[in-house]
Structure 1
Amino acid sequence: MDETSTSKRVSAPLLLDTAKALSSELRLRILQALSEKPMSVSELTKVLGVAQPTISINVQMLEEVGLIETAQKLGRGKICSRTCDSLILDLPVVPSESLKVKEVHMPVGMYTSFRVNAPCGLVNNEGVIGNVDEPSSFYMPERAEALLIWFSEAGYVEYSFPYVASSDPLVRELKVSAEVCSETCGYNEDWPSDITVSINGMELGTFTSPGDFGATKGRLTPVWWKGGTQYGLLTEWSVNETAAYVNGVPSAHVTMNDLHLSPDRPIVVRFEVKPDARHRGGLNLFGKRFGNVPQDIKLVFSR
């Protein structure tokens, strides 16, 4: 690997989706072609001799796991770039007291503060909570049962987690993970949104969701949910004693000391699309019985 090569760290929760994206000869050929230079979808079609719709579908799969970035260029359509030259894989381990202190699972409807714009809404097992596109529905007590919440453009939802590792002075890392994607009317798989996570007011980094995914039914999405957003991407933000990371890639010069954690105060986690974000494409936040990942928002305390 030369000095200009870049590496991407794949954390254990993201291994399966990344492995699926790499389990295709065509997708490997796309990555190989992009090692030389960025190309448009039409250019990839010519180089690889494959129909454009097939290229587009496979580019999207690589984009969803962060191996490809795309951008619209006037006159050239969607330009695809490879994000890294090598992968570092964090293999899963059996949780033990020597590795993991505690983890807390927070239902998506248990937020303590919010600012949202319509289109917005919440759904539970039975259907819509309150009224669609009315931010006042976010105050309803039934929000605690929400399986999916969404808002468009800029806004945030904020959660107060307990500091459950107060008896252990060796906590050196926090990880926040959730299934997320962009939000627009109906769905649009090419609709980027910059989703920023902060803990106690310190920004850990921004994940750019490539789209609002609705073309394929979510594995856990209820059968009565017709059309619209179907699933998101499992995304992880973390911070340790040296830096913060998004999906294992360094993202901010924030450390555990900057969070000023205390057993007598909550840990405030905010999911936000900032008003000054480049891509103000809204947010969908999925609970454990909606989308593709059987998980609520998870906060992990690690040694």
Structure 2
Amino acid sequence: MIILQCIVPAVNNFIKMRSLRTMTLAGNEKKVPAPQLLEMAKALSSDLRLRILEVLGDKPMSVTELAKLLGFAQPTVSINVAILEEAGLIETAQRFGRGKQCSRTCDSIVLELPRSYGDISEEWKTVEMPVGMYNEFRVKSPCGLIGQNGLIGQVDEPRSFYLPERSGAMLIWFSEDGYVEYRFPNVLPSEADYKAIAVSAELCSEFIGYKEDWPSDITLSINGREIGTYTSTGDFGENKGAYTPSWWYGGTQHGQLTEWRVGADGSLLNGQPCSAMKINDLGLEREETIVVRFEVKAGARNRGGLNLFGACFGNEQQAIRLTFIR
């Protein structure tokens, strides 16, 4: 048995682990059985999530307060709070006069290591799709694709979206309305029971150059079923993206990490209810592939285009992630 102490110093965040033959834990502790180790490891594998746990050690806070204190966008904090809540490390509750507050559930964690083969079953699996590996699209100029070394094809030329080099794209964009569609493999066995499925990506609106206050309604659908619409507040170019190449300047720099999650009771967008679509409505057991579409509809109130970021652009080191949870 290993004791994982949730201690995150302000200067150098780390997890301190130590083995003890005899153990006595003071304070509030959480016991993690072997089948939940992978979920717990995922929850603790992010510096931002450790910082959230750190600041919640002092007092409960709202997502808005956390975002302001930590210097991250509110949707990004909401997603990470949802992951910590899923792992049982924090809980959210309505506090009179203060809105919805987040609080830490424990001060220490006891991990039970597996004793024999089969004690751990895979609780989640993620497939990451490069942004240029779309199967279908409909885009309008201005539009374009950027790879690690520069422009792919010609800027503002929709025909460039057919080029085979598109597979190496790290940033794609189009204006007004349109869509890009991806086909993910269903990597779980046909008899697997799904608890939830989640799609996450860094994205934002599209304006020539950039415009911080340019909204766009971006709808995600899975297997032709609409999950929910995220309204991006702008096309962000004032601050350099953490992973944006140094040679890229004067245009879009980063987006906002956004997650749609479909579970047994409905769908969530960045941790908040967005539709009644349920996991059983997606027909996952019947589909050979899972079709994911990012779309700005022609009839949308805010037809502000779309920027979609890969692992080497923006603030998040990821492309489009499809996560299976069972």
Separation (CA, whole Å) in 2 of partners of 1:250 and 1:133? 36
Q: Does residue 86 of structure 1 match 2:109?
A: no
Could you tell me how far 1:253 is from its partner in structure 2?
0.9
Q: Does residue 215 of structure 1 match 2:238?
A: yes
Separation (CA, whole Å) in 2 of partners of 1:198 and 1:89? 33
Q: Give aligned pairs, total.
A: 244
Give the unaligned 5+ runs of structure 2.
1-42, 56-60, 79-97, 112-118
Separation (CA, whole Å) in 1 of partners of 2:314 and 2:138? 23
Give the unaligned 5+ runs of structure 1.
1-11, 33-56, 68-83
Q: Which amino acid aligns with 2:150?
A: G
Rate the CA distance shift 1:62–1:294 in 2: closer, same or farther, 3 A. closer
TM-score (norm 2): 0.67
Runs of 4+ in 1 over 2 A off after TM superposition: 12-17, 60-67, 87-91, 96-101
- CA RMSD, 1 decimal: 3.3
| Contact 2:141-2:174 at 8 Å conserved across structures | yes
Deviates more, 1:263-272 or 1:251-260: 263-272
Q: Does residue 109 of structure 1 match 2:141?
A: no
| Contact 1:164-1:263 at 8 Å conserved across structures | no
Q: Does residue 227 of structure 1 match 2:241?
A: no
Name the counterpart of 2:299.
276
Could you tell me how far 1:16 is from its partner in structure 2?
3.2
Name the counterpart of 1:40.
none
Rate the CA distance shift 1:86–1:98 in 2: closer, same or farther, 3 A. farther
Q: Percent identity?
A: 52
Counterpart among 154, 160, 165 of residue 131 in structure 1: 154
Separation (CA, whole Å) in 1 of partners of 2:209 and 2:292? 28
Could you tell me how far 1:65 is from its partner in structure 2?
5.4
Could you tell me how far 1:261 is from its partner in structure 2?
1.0
Secondary structure in 2 aligned to 1:270? strand
Q: Which amino acid aligns with 1:125?
A: Q
Separation (CA, whole Å) in 1 of partners of 2:276 and 2:299? 20
Rate the CA distance shift 1:151–1:90 in 2: closer, same or farther, 3 A. farther
Q: Does residue 16 of structure 1 match 2:44?
A: no
| Contact 2:75-2:257 at 8 Å conserved across structures | no
Name the counterpart of 2:198.
175
Separation (CA, whole Å) in 1 of partners of 2:143 and 2:103? 37
Name the counterpart of 1:296.
319
| Contact 1:101-1:171 at 8 Å conserved across structures | no
Rate the CA distance shift 1:88–1:97 in 2: closer, same or farther, 3 A. farther
